[in-house]
Chains A and B, each alone.
Chain A
Amino acid sequence: MISLSLKRLTVHFDQFLLVVLTLTLLVALFILYSASGQSMERMTAQAVNILVALAVLWVFANIPPHHLQRAALPLYVLGILLLVGVLLFGDVSKGARRWLNLGVMRIQPSELMKIATPMMLAWYFAKREATLRFSDHIVGALMLALPVGLIVKQPDLGTALLIGASGFYVLFLAGLSWRLLVGLSVAAGAMIPLVWPLLHDYQRRRVEILFDPSQDPLGAGYHTIQATIALGSGGLAGKGWLNGTQSQLDFLPERHTDFIFAVFGEEFGLVGNLLLLLLFSSIIARGLVIAANAQTMFTRLLAGSITLTFFTYAFVNMGMVSGILPVVGVPLPLISYGGTSLVTLMIGFGILMSIQTHKKLVTS
């Protein structure tokens, strides 16, 4: 009886994905304990976040994909309206207008759009599946530009980048022409020497510091320099859990959020970093397999986009911490402290699981 109902409860879990995710989240708790200066309080808070996120994962794993497909358009429209609301009436915190106060609760509509935008684009391409032509890609690009533009205005470049990426992946997987892709990148590259002389001195300097932080060691470059020292001094096997000197002293700012990977790399070394890459790769590989096996245009595109967006998160964060990408505010997925982004990620994985498990029910 018990085992039967348990089976019914877990039938929509993808076992492989669930195991890897749980493993990663456990690692996250350990590293958070160290990064927060051994704060039990913070660890407990994140443990609660994880439990909530897992519950959300279960809920979304149980929602059949065609329900999601129907919800795509209303969710997208709602999200856009909320974003406009933020722009007009939003609360300002740390210089950015991201929150909307609804009286009972404060919400961050850009989080909703992380899911709603790829859903909308996948819905649109699925609808146009039979008669897909080039103009549909233009329409798709416009649907993407709207939320991205609104979020850039907040300003929240990190989130705008992720949403932009999620939408771009849908366009790409839906068959955006290679020639156009290459052409656009070449054109963008060619623009740089043309635009550069038009910039103000201070604008140029900002861009230079973005790419070479050592030019401003006390300002914008401080994070990157400290993070690179933390990583590099970790060596092959790391300094050991709770023993990172960089991390335990106050050198690393934001070390439990955006820069948590520096703590990880210092304490667990190259071996730890490669293992973490392996964990992430397994999640991505599984996601791509789910996308490849998905049966409808909507589920294919959505699964592909969710997976590749997860990859973007990880790559951008690790790249910026290790000093090969400019610093933008993107957390390390599943590892960084914070409930909101974790829940959003788990919604994504719930959708992946739903796509995988509901398909089986249909075909067998």
Chain B
Amino acid sequence: MPPNSELRNPLREQHYFKLRLVAAGLVVLVCFGILAARFFYLQWVRYEHYQTLAENNRISLVPIVPNRGLILDRNGVVLAHNFFVYTLEITPSRVKNLEETINALKELVEVSPSDLKRFKRLRDESHNFESVPLRSHLSDEEAARFAVNRYRFPGVEIRSRLFRHYPQGTSSSHLVGYIGRINDADQNGLEKSGDLSNYKGTDHIGKAGLEQYYEHQLHGVTGFQQVEVDADGHAVRVLSSTAPVPGDNLVLSIDSKLQTIAEQAFGERRGAMVALDPASGEVLAYVSRPGFDPNLFVDGIDPENWKALNESLDKPLINRPLRGTYPPGSTFKPFVAMAGLAAGEREPPFSISDPGFYMLPGSSHQYRDWKPGGHGRVDIQHAITVSCDTFFYGLARDLGIERLAGFVSHFGFGKKTGIDMDGELSGLLPTPQWKSKRWKQPWYPGETLITGIGQGYTLVTPMQLAQATAVLANNGVAMKPRLVSTIQKDMGGTGQPIEPQTLDRVQLKPEHVELVKQGMMDVTRPGGTAASVGAGAPYDIAAKTGTAQVVGIKQGQKYNEHAIDERHRDHALFIAYAPAEAPRIALAVIVENGGHGGSAAGPIARQVMDYYLLGKEPPPPDIPKAAASEAAQTQTEPEPHD
């Protein structure tokens, strides 16, 4: 730059400017020189190479979509598979007049208004040179009729595409999930992960459940075919092809028969059940009621069905085992008992005499036991068996909320279990820090008491409750829960079993575990809160019942009084493992608005355990449920209502 001076010399300025122009001109020359050299290289030096390529390049590269992996249960029962259907597809750029073409096509195949709507939407979403389906599921007759007339329709083709089907229907909805058409959000996700080119030709992607979580394994690697094409773009000859690598099959640890038995036991009731193998973390049954038919979603759900599912009071779309959160009620007590014993509180021969209520020192407020008049003399083991609230109020107070929450979190409360499915909620294990952050309020001593009996802020998912039960059954060793046990390569060829993974080892003394377990075994024996559940079982069941109060219903909803009453009822909870001395199955059952844990949720658990341990199938479901459960109720002692 010229030195700064107030008055500048215009001539000198212009001279500098011209120098700059010359410099710029030189850059232009160099750049154009590079281009010329590049043209020379491409069009002279490498001419023959590119000429050969161009010859071959009457070739178009056609993606070959890999077969999506199957999903099977532990016994090989198919939960998701593929079948071929004919689709009628149009490539808009090759069609002169789209409207005329579609009208002419209507004379050959049936095209409904909703087909047209979907076609318009898909067309807007895709490029002009991409083939867009107008109709799917053509009948053989329709396909043949079009084939004869194909010459009249340049740019229209019949393709055979793979469709996904879920033979188990409603029963697999939340577990298997479903696939749906790739939308903009999916597209962005694929672009981010760098998988976009592997999805050339793929229209569907996993949207929920295992289909979503294992999308990468299920999809496979897209292959390519080099096809010689004529001027219309029709394939004339296949020149070479790279075979696609089919997606991996998923073999689940789920026993779909067990699953069905549990679902039938639920009947029309809402709720969830998760059953685990405590030693390995394998999920044996994963039930969310009500379910829905995942097949509805595969090719885009129609608005009517969507509305019905989305607005149903029963909320069938909620994946309850992972996303339903409930107060654990008394099913929380065994874990509170473990916390107490580990902290050196309430070790036998400690016992209390229960007057039927608990009072904090210096307060006259009575925290009531569910049983008026109390349970008499109870030690920690018996407190579990009879679900004595008074005992646990005192224990919770002496432990304090921090120690209580800190210890039971080792059983998985308040955090995700890490199961192989997306969308898991972590529930809530309240602490004073949490309360002051969330509600800007101090923690009150009374809140510690009700936390001790599983009420208050505490929320658990059915998955967490099953996992905590499994950890207890497994003497404190927490295995990572998982739905998929083997990922099979090459369409069912060699499979790589997934090794069980230890998550955590809770430090528990064997004699403490024994106390709690004995208390839980007595629950299903005469005198326990679920004596009917254990009646006649040839194996020992350790269990705990629970009842969770329903806060209320949403205002302003219209449904009849009967429904309101029904939805006002308490949630019934039940956790169990069996055989008690060498557990092979641990489970948690929640029946929404079911009433009492022992009578509503317990029988479901018993049927599941009977089938899993004995191979015993329940009587056919046409025996009226009400009668059966009434019969069960008459046998039992008064229901705990804690």
Q: Hey, which bits of chain A sit against chain B, CB under 8 A?
A: 129-134, 169, 172-173, 175, 177, 201-202, 205-206, 216-219, 226, 228-236, 245-246, 248-251, 253, 265, 269-270, 273-274, 277, 280-281, 284-285, 288, 291-292, 297, 300, 304, 308, 311, 315, 318-319, 322-324
Q: Cβ of B21 and Cβ of A175 under 8 Å apart? A: no
Give the 10 A-B CB pairs with smallest separation, nearest first: A232-B50, A233-B54, A219-B197, A270-B43, A232-B42, A233-B50, A218-B197, A235-B47, A273-B39, A202-B194
| Pairwise interchain contact B197-A322, C-beta atoms closer than 8 A | no
Residues on A with C-beta less than 8 A from B35 are 277, 315, 318-319, 322, 324
Does B32 count as interface, using CB distance less than 8 angstroms? yes
CA distance A219 to B199 in the complex (A): 10
Evaluate whether A270 and B44 lie within 8 angstroms (CB atoms) in the complex, with A233-B50, A233-B54 already known: yes
Check A232/B17 contact, CB under 8 A, given A134-B1, A218-B224, A270-B39. no
| A233, B21: Cα distance in complex, Å | 37
Q: Digitize B49-75: 1 where CB-to-A-CB distance is under 8 Å, 0 elsewhere.
A: 111011001101101000000000000
A228, B54: Cα distance in complex, Å: 10
- Tell me whether A245 and B36 are in contact (CB under 8 A): no
B24 within 8 A of A: yes
Closest to A201 in B: B194
A232 near B49: Cβ-Cβ < 8 Å: yes
Specify which chain A residues have a CB less than 8 angstroms from the CB of B39 in the assembled complex.
Answer: 231, 265, 270, 273-274, 322
Q: B43, A232: Cβ atoms under 8 Å? A: yes
CB distance from A126 to the nearest CB of B (A): 12
**B-chain residues with CB within 8 Å of residue A270 when the two chains form the complex:** 39-40, 43-44
A176 to chain B, nearest CB (A): 8
Say whether B24 contacts A304, CB under 8 Å: yes
Q: Please, how many angstroms separate the alpha-carbon atoms of A169 and B25 in the complex?
A: 12
Residues of A within 8 A of B193 (CB): 202
Is the C-beta of B6 less than 8 angstroms from some C-beta in chain A? yes
Contact status B197-A228, CB under 8 Å: no
Known pairs A235-B43, A273-B36, A324-B35; list 16 more (Cβ under 8 Å): A175-B17, A218-B200, A229-B54, A231-B39, A231-B42, A231-B50, A233-B50, A236-B47, A245-B54, A249-B231, A270-B40, A270-B44, A277-B35, A288-B25, A297-B13, A318-B35
B18 within 8 A of A: yes
In whole angstroms, how far apart are the Cα atoms of A228 and B24 in the complex?
28
Complex Cα distance, B14 from A348, in Å, reads 22
Interface residues of B (CB under 8 A from A): 1-2, 4, 6-8, 13-14, 16-18, 20-21, 24-25, 28, 31-32, 34-36, 38-40, 42-44, 46-47, 49-51, 53-54, 57-58, 60-61, 63, 129, 192-194, 196-197, 200, 224, 229, 231, 233
Q: A323 to B6, alpha carbons, bound, how many Å?
A: 49
Q: Tell me the complex Cα distance, A335–B16, Å.
A: 34
Whether the Cβ atoms of A175 and B43 lie closer than 8 Å is no
Known: A133-B4, A218-B200, A288-B21. A234 touches B43 (CB 8 A): yes
Residue in contact with A233 in the complex, picked from B14, B38, B47, B63, CB distance below 8 Å: B47
In angstroms, Cα B54 to Cα A269, docked, is 14
- For B31, give its contact among A131, A292, A315 (CB under 8 Å): A315
The CA of A291 and the CA of B572, in the complex, are separated in Å by: 87
Contact flag A236-B44 (CB < 8 Å), given A230-B54, A308-B24: yes
Least CB distance from A305 to B in Å reads 10
What are some 24 contacts across the A-B interface (CB < 8 A)? A129-B8, A172-B20, A175-B20, A202-B194, A205-B194, A218-B61, A218-B224, A219-B196, A228-B42, A229-B53, A229-B54, A230-B54, A231-B50, A232-B42, A232-B51, A232-B54, A235-B43, A235-B44, A248-B231, A249-B58, A265-B39, A273-B39, A300-B14, A322-B35
**Distance in Å from the Cβ of B38 to the closest Cβ of chain A?**
5
Give Cα distance in the complex from A89 to B347, angstroms: 70
Please name all residues of chain A whose beta carbon is closer than 8 Å to the beta carbon of B60 when the two chains form the complex.
Answer: 250-251
A17 to chain B, nearest CB (A): 16
In angstroms, how far is the closest chain B Cβ from the Cβ of A1?
42
Q: In the complex, how many angstroms separate the beta carbon of A235 from the nearest chain B beta carbon?
A: 5
User: Among A253, A274, A277, which residue has its beta carbon within 8 angstroms of that of B129?
Assistant: A253
Residue of B nearest to A269 (CB): B43
Q: Are B53 and A233 in contact (CB under 8 A)?
A: yes
The answer to whether B21 touches A292 (Cβ under 8 A) is yes
The answer to whether A218 touches B63, judged by C-beta atoms less than 8 angstroms apart, is yes
* B residues in contact with A315, CB < 8 Å: 31-32, 35
Bound form: Cα–Cα A145–B31 in Å: 25
Bound form: Cα–Cα A95–B50 in Å: 34
Q: By the criterion CB–CB under 8 Å, are B1 and A177 in contact?
A: yes
Q: How far is the CA of A221 from the CA of B13 in the complex (A)?
A: 47
Chain A residues lying within 8 Å of B16, measured Cβ to Cβ, are 175
* Distance between A28 CB and nearest chain B CB, rounded to angstroms: 18
Question: Who on chain A is nearest to B31 by CB?
Answer: A315
CA distance A226 to B42 in the complex (A): 13
- CB proximity of B189 to chain A, nearest CB, Å: 11
The residue on B at minimum CB distance from A303 is B21
How far in angstroms is the closest Cβ of chain B from A121?
15
**Complex-state Cα separation, A14 to B34, whole angstroms:** 30
* CB neighbours of A288 from chain B (8 A): 21, 24-25
Query: In chain A, what residue has the closest Cβ to B53?
Result: A229
With both chains docked as a complex, state the minimum distance between the C-beta of A198 and any C-beta of chain B, in angstroms: 17
Closest to A228 in B: B42
B24 near A281: Cβ-Cβ < 8 Å: no
Nearest B residue to A206 by beta-carbon distance? B194
Give the residues in chain B near A134, CB-CB below 8 Å: 1
Q: Nearest-CB distance from B498 to chain A (Å)?
A: 25
CA distance A206 to B8 in the complex (A): 50
Residues in chain A near residue B46, CB distance under 8 A: 232
Q: In the complex, A177 Cα to B1 Cα: how many Å?
A: 6
Residues of A within 8 A of B40 (CB): 270
In the assembly, what is the distance between CA of A57 and CA of B316, in Å?
66
Q: How far is the CB of B47 from chain A (nearest CB, A)?
A: 5
A130-B7, A173-B17, A288-B25 as given contacts; A265 in contact with B54, CB under 8 Å: no
* A172 contact set on B, CB distance < 8 A: 20, 24
Q: Which residues of A contact B34 (CB under 8 A)?
A: 319, 324
B53 partner, pick from A177, A232, A249, A322, beta carbons under 8 A: A232
Contacts of B44 in A (CB 8 A): 235-236, 270
Q: Which residue of B lies closest to A308 (CB)?
A: B24
| A322 x B61 contact (CB < 8 A) | no
Q: Contact: A273 with B43, CB < 8 Å?
A: yes
Partner of B57, one of A175, A229, A300: A229
Nearest CB of chain B from residue A145's CB, rounded to whole Å: 22
Whether the Cβ atoms of A229 and B38 lie closer than 8 Å is no
Does A169 contact B24, Cβ atoms closer than 8 Å?
yes
Cα distance A344–B56 in the bound complex, in angstroms: 40
B residues near A249, Cβ cutoff 8 Å: 58, 229, 231, 233
